Amino acid sequence: MLAYVFSHRAAAGADIAVYEDLMRRFHGALAGSPPPGFVRSATFRAAGGYVDWYLIESSAALDALNQAAISGRRSRPHDAVAQMAAEGSGKLMTLTVGPPELQAGFEVRFSKPKGVSYAGLDSLLEPWTRRTGVSVWKRMMVLGPPPEFSLLTPAHLELPAETSPQLLRLEAL
């Protein structure tokens, strides 16, 4: 399971209610007519901006998702919200632990401590990852901005300080 994660914010002066409505319409249109390999998507308010998560079956589904976003019933809300947006960045992530759920709660962005192996990181995180609804996603091939990992959780969690955690509250639109 992969996730294309797109972080963005509305441009200064944009009508936030309209911006959010257009995002809801876009995600609804995507769900109503999904491209091949698309599983589901969600958009969240987070840290003065928005984070969209698009779950896809494989990297091959990226081409279909990219084309679908700008065609058919999706093109109008996509184009309208894109014109109201300021800066955005995306990254491709792979699910490493837990269920592929997209729910309101928290995203903890974090880094693997220097000198710690991936197996060591798995052990370090185990007290958190065995909790219900918790998943860990790893950035692929340095495609996107750091940090390298995201932990999605329905409840507030504090990871060890050596992971340099950044906590984001995710509010579903």
**Predicted confidence (pLDDT) per residue in 42-77, tens digit:** 999 998 899 999 999 999 999 999 898 888 888 888
**Packing angle, helices 61-69 and 16-32, rounded to 10:** 130
In DSSP terms, 9 is beta-bridged to 86
**Predicted confidence (pLDDT) per residue in 127-153, tens digit:** 999 999 999 999 998 887 889 999 999
What pTM did the predictor assign? 0.93
Q: Is 41 left (phi over 0), alpha (psi -120 to 50) or beta?
A: beta
The pLDDT-based confidence of 94 (bands split at 50, 70, 90) is very high
**Of 2, 5, 23, 38, which Cα lies nearest the Cα of 109?**
5
Query: How many CA atoms lie within 13 Å of 75's alpha carbon, on the beta-carbon side?
Result: 4
Q: At the topology level of CATH, where does 2-93 sit?
A: Alpha-Beta Plaits (3.30.70)
Average pLDDT, the chain: 94
Q: Which helix (H) or strand (E) holds 86?
A: strand 85-97
Q: What is the mean pLDDT of residues 4-26?
A: 95
